[in-house]
């Protein structure tokens, strides 16, 4: 067998093996990893955090862990605590007496955002 043929074949396979190894060590795309791109919670997840010491609530399709804010909320504690583990959208929009929260309250709320509310398919 001519020497040039052996050298060419060996070079070819070394090159192919190199490509294969490079593919193995290449960084994975997001779709290939199991890291969730966005966190989503269901109403059942939210309902599991229904106490003042662990208080999540959903407001307009977003989920908030407001546990740390409860002691600072300006109303009587039971007014806000009643919404732990629940959808507080309407309560937040009305403060249960027909008045919206201020824009400062909206900005404060964003600091407690933990994820979107997962839409359940019908
Ligand atoms: C969802 C249940 C909630 C209810 C029923 C509720 C109700 C109330 C009430 C009765 C007041 C005091 C009276 C008034 O200002 O008119 C108040 C004030 C306030 N609340 Fe809430 N609240 C809720 C959730 C929250 C959350 C989650 C935040 C922020 C993380 C928040 C932030 C504030 C702030 C900053 C004020 C001072 C007034 C203002 O900026 O609008 N509240 N809320």
Q: Report strand pairing: 113-117 vs 62-65.
A: antiparallel
Question: What's the pLDDT score for residue 80?
Answer: 97
What residue ranges line ligand 1, CB within 6 angstroms?
Answer: 57, 66, 69, 73-75, 79-80, 83, 88, 91-92, 95-96, 99, 101-102, 104-105, 108-109, 112
| d(C-alpha 44, C-alpha 68), whole Å | 21
Predicted local distance difference test score (pLDDT) of residue 119: 76
Return the pLDDT at 96.
83
Ligand 1 atom closest to the CA of 76, numbered from 1: 10
pLDDT, tens digit, for every residue of 30-75? Answer: 455 555 555 699 999 999 999 999 999 999 999 999 999 999 999 9
Query: Can you tell me which residue has the tokens 């290449």?
Result: 26
Taking the C-alpha atoms of residue 7 and residue 16, their distance in angstroms, rounded to an integer, is 14
What is the best residue among 86, 95, 104 to mutate for testing ligand 1's pocket, by most ligand atoms within 8 Å of CB?
A: 95
Please give the model's pTM, rounded to 2 decimal places. 0.75
Torsions phi, psi for 62 (to 5 deg): -120, 155
């Amino acid at each position: 067998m001519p020497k040039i043929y052996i050298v060419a074949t060996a070079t070819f396979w070394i090159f192919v093996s190199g490509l294969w190894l490079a593919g193995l060590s290449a960084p994975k795309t997001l779709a290939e990893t199991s890291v969730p791109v966005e966190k989503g919670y269901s109403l059942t997840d939210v309902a599991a955090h229904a106490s003042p010491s662990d208080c999540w609530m959903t407001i307009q399709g977003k989920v908030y862990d407001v546990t740390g804010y409860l002691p600072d909320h300006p109303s009587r504690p039971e007014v806000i605590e009643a919404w732990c583990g629940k959808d507080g959208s309407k309560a937040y929009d009305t403060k249960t007496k027909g008045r919206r929260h201020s824009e400062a309250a909206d900005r404060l709320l964003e600091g407690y955002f933990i994820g979107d509310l997962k839409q359940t398919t019908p």
